[in-house]
Structure 1
Amino acid sequence: MADFTAKDVQALRQSTGAGMMDAKKALTENGGDADAAAKWLREKGLAKAAGRSDRDNSQGTVAVSQSEGTAAIVELKCETDFVAKSDQFTSLVQEMAALVVAEGEDAASTKSSAIDDLKLVLKENIELGQVVRVEASDGQVIDSYVHRQDGRGVNGVIVVLDGGTPELAHDVAVHVAFTKPTAVRRDEVDEALVAEERATLESMTRAEGKPEQAIDKIVEGRLGAWFKERVLLDQGFVKDEKTTVAALLGDTEVVRVAQVVVGG
């Protein structure tokens, strides 16, 4: 019989999150060697985790990190909000965000072993989601914002401006978090999508019996409202709806907007 005690079993359970019988079997199979037993359990745990890989993991946590002209957003996905807001989960994703700022987007994958450990301990389909790293050039300003809900980040934004101030970039980032624009400028919206919407609005306007000579003007007005829903510069600023984001910015140019939303 392998040489180990009840305390060894308990220590292995605490370090791996395994059940008592699994911990005893792991120590037995590995001659009482705790490190080998932990590896054995992890391998078995990963086999079980693979069986969970088809489970929906639309929950998760978003972390943002920023340092000296560089910012990053990292998303870690899981199955439930209970796991998403746990200390182990939120600590890992924040650590990954800081690592991406320091070393680049590929650095997130170096934490794959830590993610595998969480799969074993938390027993959910956990995987790395979106990873974004943004650098500001000389003369540009960068700032970020993360919207938190129930102790976890659910919506992370990075904004880079040419001109302006970090405070202005932060205000725009907050705005983006709440309005979720899909484009910065109108010319970034897919032309085919615009043409389809214009045709739909024209058909709708004609069906309403509007005068022929007024149709073009009505359609353009409605198309403007459609753009306002999805184009950042057209939107009314969240802190003052009477002021558009374009007016708020003045001569300041939006260089880049990055946004990651849990489940998005």
Structure 2
Amino acid sequence: MLANKIANSVAVSSDIPESTTAGFSEEIEALKVTLKENIALGRVSRFITQAPHVVDGYLHIQAERGVQAVLVELDGGPVELAHDIAVHIGFAKPKYLCRDEVPADIVEAERAALEAISRNEGKPEAALPKIIEGRMNGFFKQVCLIEQDYAKDDKQSVSQVLGKNKIVRFSQVIVGA
């Protein structure tokens, strides 16, 4: 299977992604013809780590094919926790690990949009800063992994589930996205 060949190539290569995928262009072209689909390799992720870090993942399968893959690296904690966090990411689709990772231009655009919405709703001018801050907290809760309600127990945030363990990084790849 082509996907396994590419995965094995990524696993052993020191150059990602160009040098690992260049050797498969003919096979990808042949698959396009066979399936009559536009197929492209969009993104490759590889995590290399050492103890006490753990890595685990989640592959979401739909109609007998993988449509979403997630990798998570934890500093500490059991591999089962890394897997559960990967499943959560597959469900909740966070864009960033924490607030510090959200680009300033995105934060400012969201703040401006929320301010405009709040003003258009006729909210009192004196209350606007608190209203906007509350709505910004909601925005961060939606896009930042550690602030999200945990999928397996929505009474806890991902941060609370992690306890003293820390997410180092995560990668999510969705077919067609």
| TM-score over 0.5 (shorter chain) | yes
* Cα drift, residue 125 of structure 1: 3.5
> Partner of 1:203 in structure 2?
116
Q: Secondary structure at the match of 1:118?
A: helix
* Cα drift, residue 216 of structure 1: 1.6
Cα deviations across residues 214-264 of structure 1 (Å, max 9, x unaligned)?
222111111111111111111001111111011111221111111110111
* Cα drift, residue 198 of structure 1: 1.6
Cα deviations across residues 67-112 of structure 1 (Å, max 9, x unaligned)?
xxxxxxxxxxxxxxxxxxxxxxxx2212321332233533333233
- CA 121–198 in structure 1, closer or farther in 2 if over 3 Å, else same: closer
> Partner of 2:99 in structure 1?
186
Letter in structure 1 aligned against 2:135: R
Deviates more, 1:192-201 or 1:168-177: 192-201
> Partner of 1:107 in structure 2?
20
> Partner of 2:75 in structure 1?
162
Deviates more, 1:96-105 or 1:242-251: 96-105
Separation in 1, partners of 2:31, 2:157: 44
Separation in 2, partners of 1:123, 1:188: 39
Separation in 1, partners of 2:129, 2:158: 26
> Partner of 2:3 in structure 1?
93
> Partner of 1:139 in structure 2?
52
- CA 216–120 in structure 1, closer or farther in 2 if over 3 Å, else same: closer
Separation in 1, partners of 2:57, 2:3: 16
* Cα drift, residue 124 of structure 1: 4.1
Cα deviations across residues 15-60 of structure 1 (Å, max 9, x unaligned)?
xxxxxxxxxxxxxxxxxxxxxxxxxxxxxxxxxxxxxxxxxxxxxx
Give the length in aligned residue pairs: 174
* Cα drift, residue 213 of structure 1: 3.0
> Partner of 1:82 in structure 2?
none
Q: Please list every run of 5 or more consecutive structure 2 residues that lacks an aligned counterpart in the other structure.
A: none
Q: Secondary structure at the match of 2:132?
A: helix
Letter in structure 1 aligned against 2:147: D
What does 1:222-241 correspond to in 2, within 5 Å?
Answer: 222-241=135-154
Name the structure, 1 or 2, with higher relative contact order (CA <8 Å, separation 6+): 2
> Partner of 1:5 in structure 2?
none
> Partner of 1:152 in structure 2?
65
Cα deviations across residues 177-231 of structure 1 (Å, max 9, x unaligned)?
1111111000111112212222222232233233333222111111111111111
Identity %: 45
- CA 196–151 in structure 1, closer or farther in 2 if over 3 Å, else same: same
- CA 260–166 in structure 1, closer or farther in 2 if over 3 Å, else same: same
Separation in 2, partners of 1:205, 1:118: 51
Q: Max radius of gyration: which structure?
A: 1
Whether 1:175 and 2:85 are equivalent positions in the alignment is no
Q: Secondary structure at the match of 1:164?
A: coil
* Cα drift, residue 120 of structure 1: 4.5
